[in-house]
Structure 1
Amino acid sequence: MKRSIAILSGDGIGPEVMDQTIRIIKKIEEKFGHQFHLQYGDVGGVAYDKFEKHLPEMTHQICEYSDAILFGSVGGPLTESHLKKWQDCEKNSILVLRKKFQFSTNMRPIKVFRELNAISPLKESIVGANGIDFIILRELLGDVYTGEHKTYIENNLRTATDLSLYNEKQIKILAHHSFKVAQKRKSKVTSVDKANALDTSKLWRTIMNEVSNQYPDVFLEHMLVDNCAYQFMINPSQFDVIVTANLFGDILSDAAAGLTGSLGLIPSASFNEQGFALYEPSGGSAPNIAGKNIANPIAQILSFVLLLKHSFELYEEAILIEKAIHQTLKNGFRTQDICFSDNNYVSSSKFTDIILSFI
C-alpha cells in the first residue's frame, strides 16, 4: 500500500514521541511492504519561530495533499504564555485545522491496560472485575465553543454570555458515526446530555432517537451528564460507546482519561464527514519534561494505530502494534509516568526499542 501521511510534530515532547512513532512506522513499512510517504510540516511555536505563524500555508498544503494527519502537540510553558510565540498557539493551529477540514467528530478510546490496573485511581475491584474499555465520541464544531461570545455592561454590572448552538445536521453526523462504531464493538450507545435543562440537549436526544431507528441492532440509552460522571467512578465497565456534545465531551473525555492513570496512554482521532482524519495523543506538550527522553510514547504510537485502522484499514498491522505494546508492559517495562519507582523506568527510546523487538 502507498499512502501519504502529514507529520506535524509541534512543540514540547511532540517531536520526541513522534520520532519514536516514526520508528514504528518504518518497521511496519519494512515488515509488510507498505510505502508511507511522510510529509513534515511545522506547527505551533516551532512554526512561529520560522514563519511568525502558528500554522503556515505550507503546512496547510501538506495536510491537504495527505491521506491522513498525524499530529503531535503544541504550546509552551505557562510562564511564557504572554509571549507572541505562545499566545493563542492552540487556537491558531489545531483549532484552525479542525475548522478548515471540518473535523466534526472526535474519537477518544478509554482503555485500562490490564498490566497497568494498579495505576488507575479506581479500586482494583472496580477496574479488574470487567475491565475498562470504551470510546467517547465528541462533536467538535457546535456548542458553546463556536457560538457567539459577548462581554458587556448591563445595569452597571459586568456581564458575559456564550451562545450554545446546535442544528440537526451536526447531531446526525455524530449520531451515525456512533452507531457505526458500536456495530463493530458491543452494539451499545450511551448518549449523554442535559435534556432536563437545556433545549440543545432536548434536540440532541430527539435526533439520537430518530437516527437509532436506522440501527435496530444497536441498543441506545440516554444518560444525564452529571450521572455519567458519577458512573465513571463506580461502574465504568458498563460503557461501550459514549456520544455527547462538544462541551460535555471535552470535560468527560479528560475525566475518563484519568481512569487509566496517565494521559500518556490515550490516543484520539478527529474525523470529517468524508472520513478524512487527524490523529493525535490526548496529552499536552509537557514542556517541563521536553528533551529528557522520558515522555511516554504510547499515546502517539496508538494514534498511529488508529490511523492504520480508520484511514488505511490495515487491521493486521494495527493489532500487531497493540500486541507489542501489551507484551512490553507485560514484561515489566515502564516509562516514568506509569512507573511506581522513580529508579525503575526506561527512557522513551528504550521503551520503543522493546516494542519494536516484539513487532
Structure 2
Amino acid sequence: MNKTITIIKGDGIGPEIVTEAMKVIDAIGQKYRHQFIYQEVAAGGNAIDQYGTSLPKESLEKCLNCDSVLLGAVGGPKWDKTDPSIRPEKALLSIRSEMGLYANLRPAKLFPQLSEASPLKESIVNQGIDFVVVRELIGGVYFGKRSTTTENNELIARDEMSYSEHEIKRIAKIAFETARKRNKNVISVDKANVLDTSRLWRRVMEQTAKDYPDIQYTNMLVDNTAMQIVKCPSQFDVIVTENMFGDILSDEASMITGSIGMIPSSSLGNGTRGMYEPIHGSAPDIAGQNIANPIGTILSAAMMMKYSFDMARESENIEAAVHSVLNQGYRTTDIMSSGKIKVSCTEMGKLIIENL
C-alpha cells in the first residue's frame, strides 16, 4: 500500500518523539512492503513563531489532503500570553473541526510490566485496567459561544455549552461499535441531574442503545465516574461522554496506568482518515535532552495502522515489539524503576525496531 501521512512534530519534545515513531513506521513499511510518504507541516507554537498563526493555511490543506495525521504535541509556557485566537491549542481545535474528527478514542491500559508505577493500591491494580474513553471532540462548551463583558462595574464571563441530537447519536454509534470489538459494555457519562445538555445526551444514548441489544449499557454521573475510575477501574470497558467531561476523565484515566508517556490516542470522524497523537503535552522542561518517552507516539502510529490503514497485522507487530522491549527491562526516565535499564528516547525507538 501507499499512504500519505501529514506529520506535525509540534513543540517541546514533539520533534524527538515523532522522529522515533517515523523510524518505526519506515521499518514497518520495509518489512511489509508498504510505502509511507510524509508531508511535514508547521502547527502550534513553532508556527506562531514562523508565520504569526498557529495553523497556516498550507498546513491545514495538507491535513485535509492525506490519509492520516500524526501529531507530537503543541504549546508551552512561551506562548501562554499569545492572543487566544492564535494560541497553539487553537490549531488542534481547528484541525479537528475542519477534518470532521468528532470522536476521540483514548485507551487506558496498564502494561503489566509497569504495574508498580500505578499510583493505585496493588489490590486494585491486580484486577486489571483496560478500558477506552470515547470523547465527543468538536462540540460542547469548547466550541460554544463565549464572551466577557462588564456589568455593574465587574467582569462577567460566559461560555455556551450545547449539543444536538445528531452530534450525540454519531458519538454513541462509535462507542457501541468500539464495545463490540472489546467486551461489549458501554457506560455513558453525563450530569443529567443538573444540565439540560446532559438530559438530552442521556435520552439519545438510551435510544441508540436499543439498536445494540448485544451491548450492556449503563448511565453514570460524571462525579461518580471520577471516583469509580480510581476505586474500581476494572468495571469499565468503554466510557462515552461529552467533550469537557471526556477531557478531564481521560487525563485521570491515563494517570492510573503509571505513565502518561505510554498512552496513545486517535481522533476519528466519518471515513478512515484520522489524527493520531500521544496524550501527553509538549514537556518543554525536558525538550532537547533525548530523555522523552516515545512509546505513546509509537503506539499512536500503531493505532493509525489499525483504524485508518486497515493494517491490523502491522499494528499488532508494533504493540508486540513494545511489550518485548518492556519485558527485556528497558525503560525511559519517566517509567524507570529499580533494577531496570535506563535508555534514551532514540535508544528506545531503536530497541522497538529491533524487536519488530
TM-score range for the pair, normalised by the shorter chain length: over 0.9
- TM-score normalised by L of structure 2: 0.96
* 1:176 aligned to which of 173, 178, 183: 173
Work out whether 1:328 is the aligned partner of 2:329: no
Instruction: Give the letter aligned to residue 103 of structure 2.
Output: T
| CA contact 1:49–1:85 (8 Å) conserved in 2 | no
Instruction: Give the letter aligned to residue 328 of structure 1.
Output: V
Secondary structure in structure 2 of the residue aligned to 1:327: helix
**CA gap 1:212/1:357 in 2 versus in 1, 3 angstroms:** same
Cα displacement string for residues 184-209 of structure 1 (whole angstroms, at most 9, x for unaligned residues):
00001000001111111111111011
- TM-score normalised by L of structure 1: 0.95
Cα root mean square deviation, aligned: 1.8
Cα displacement string for residues 204-235 of structure 1 (whole angstroms, at most 9, x for unaligned residues):
11101111111111111110101101111111
Work out whether 1:126 is the aligned partner of 2:116: no
Secondary structure in structure 2 of the residue aligned to 1:185: coil
Cα displacement string for residues 23-55 of structure 1 (whole angstroms, at most 9, x for unaligned residues):
101110111011111111111222233322221
Question: What is aligned with 1:114?
Answer: 112
**CA gap 1:86/1:205 in 2 versus in 1, 3 angstroms:** closer
| CA contact 1:48–1:85 (8 Å) conserved in 2 | no
Residue 277 of structure 1 deviates from its aligned partner by 0.8
CA distance in 1, matches of 2:80, 2:208: 44
Residue 87 of structure 1 deviates from its aligned partner by 6.3
Residue 341 of structure 1 deviates from its aligned partner by 5.2
Cα displacement string for residues 68-89 of structure 1 (whole angstroms, at most 9, x for unaligned residues):
111111113x255336799612
Work out whether 1:191 is the aligned partner of 2:188: yes
Structure 2: give runs of 5+ residues left out of the alignment.
Answer: none
| CA contact 1:5–1:37 (8 Å) conserved in 2 | yes
| Paired residues, number | 356
| CA contact 1:308–1:317 (8 Å) conserved in 2 | yes
Secondary structure in structure 2 of the residue aligned to 1:24: helix
CA distance in 1, matches of 2:44, 2:268: 21
Structure 1 range deviating more: 238-247 or 78-87: 78-87
Secondary structure in structure 1 of the residue aligned to 2:256: helix
| CA contact 1:81–1:87 (8 Å) conserved in 2 | no
Secondary structure in structure 1 of the residue aligned to 2:55: coil
Question: What is aligned with 2:242?
Answer: 245
Instruction: Give the letter aligned to residue 47 of structure 2.
Output: A
Question: What is aligned with 1:264?
Answer: 261
Residue 157 of structure 1 deviates from its aligned partner by 4.1
Work out whether 1:286 is the aligned partner of 2:306: no
Identity %, equivalent residues: 46
CA distance in 1, matches of 2:169, 2:84: 38
Question: What is aligned with 1:19?
Answer: 19
* 2:208 aligned to which of 207, 211, 215: 211
